[in-house]
Amino acid sequence: MRVKGLPYAQAGLTFDARDARALTVATLGTALGLVALVALAAALTGRPLARSANPVSVVALALALVSFVGSSAIQRITTQSFALAASPNRGLSRGGVAFGVAMFTLAHVQVPRSPLYLTNVALFGLASTLLFAAPHRPSYALPLGFHAGWNWAQVVLLGAPTGTEPNPLTPLRWPAGPSWLFGGVNGLDEGWLFTAALVPFFALTRWIRRRNLDAP
C-alpha cells in the first residue's frame, strides 16, 4: 500500500514490536537523561534540584506521559510529512529536511521570542527529523520518543516554567539558576542548557547512520 506513491514503510507509517521497544527506550532514556543533565547543571551552579511539596500521583504522571506522546505524535507526523512532501525522491532530501524544520519552527512562533529560543526550536526540529531518517527504515519511534520524553521531563518531572501556572504534578522544583543557562518563562527552551542537551541526539543520529553504512 502507498501514500501518494510512497510505500507506508518508507513514509514511516508502520509500527511493530521493534518500533514499540525503540519508542519506550527513546522516551524514558530522553527523560532520564534530561533530568540528569539539569540536576548536574543545578548542582554546579550551587542550586541543586529539590523535591516539590506537591503530592505526586504515579497515575497522574503516567497519564501526563500518554498525553505528551499523543501531542508529540501530531507534531512529528506533521513535520515529517512536510519534509517528505518537499523531497523530490523517496526518502528525505536536505531540502526536505530544511523545509520540515522551518515548518516546525514556525509552528512554535506564537509570540515574539528570543533568537536563542528560535535557534533551539529549529535545532530540536532538526534533531528529531534526522532521527526519523537515520534508521534503514524511516520510523517515528525514535523522534516521537525523543519529543515526548523531552517535554514530559521538562514540564512534568522538572516543573520548568512555561509562562502559565506552575504544574501541580511536578515532583521536582525547577532550579532558580541563571536564565542564560536554565532559560526564562518559557522554560529550558530559552537557555544554553537546551542547546547542550541536543548534542547527544545529533551524535546518536550520526552513529546510527554510520552503523547502517557499515552493515552488510
In DSSP notation, 180-212 reads HHH-BTTBGGGSHHHHHHHHHHHHHHHHHHHHH
User: Could you tell me the pLDDT band of residue 8, with boundaries at 50, 70 and 90?
Assistant: very low
Amino acid (1-letter code) at residue 77: I
Q: Is residue 9 part of a domain?
A: no
**Whether 169 contacts 160, CB under 8 Å:** no
List Cβ neighbours of 206 (8 Å cut-off, separation of 6 or more).
Answer: none
In whole angstroms, what is the distance from residue 101 CA to residue 162 CA? Answer: 22
Give the lowest-confidence range in 28-37, 189-198, 202-211: 202-211
Q: Is residue 146 part of a domain?
A: yes
Q: Is residue 172 part of a domain?
A: yes
CA distances from 70 to 65, 88, 118, 170 (A): 9, 29, 23, 20
In DSSP notation, 14-28 reads ---HHHHHHHHHHHH
In a 3-state reduction of DSSP, which class is residue 107?
A: coil
CA distances from 177 to 157, 160, 182 (A): 17, 12, 6
Q: Is residue 46 part of a domain?
A: no
Cα pseudo-dihedral 148, 153, 157, 161, rounded to 10: -100
In the predicted structure, residue 182 carries a pLDDT above the cut 70: yes
Q: How many beta carbons lie within 10 A of that of residue 164, not counting itself?
A: 7
In whole angstroms, what is the distance from residue 189 CA to residue 3 CA? Answer: 35
Q: What is the mean pLDDT of residues 62-82?
A: 90
In a 3-state reduction of DSSP, which class is residue 12?
A: coil
Q: pLDDT by residue (tens digit) across 76-122? A: 888 888 888 888 876 788 898 999 999 999 888 866 578 899 999 99
Q: Is 165 exposed, middle or buried (0-12, 13-18, 19+ CB in 10 A)?
A: exposed
pLDDT given for residue 7 in this prediction: 47
Q: Domain residues for 154?
A: 52-214
Q: Is residue 125 part of a domain?
A: yes
- Number of domains present in the structure of the chain: 1
In whole angstroms, what is the distance from residue 196 CA to residue 40 CA? Answer: 13
Residue whose C-alpha is closest to residue 180's, from 111, 112, 114: 114
Q: Is residue 5 part of a domain?
A: no
Q: Is residue 25 part of a domain?
A: no
Q: Is residue 23 part of a domain?
A: no
pLDDT given for residue 4 in this prediction: 46
**Whether 7 contacts 1, CB under 8 Å:** yes
User: Could you tell me the pLDDT band of residue 213, with boundaries at 50, 70 and 90?
Assistant: low
Higher pLDDT, 200 or 57: 200
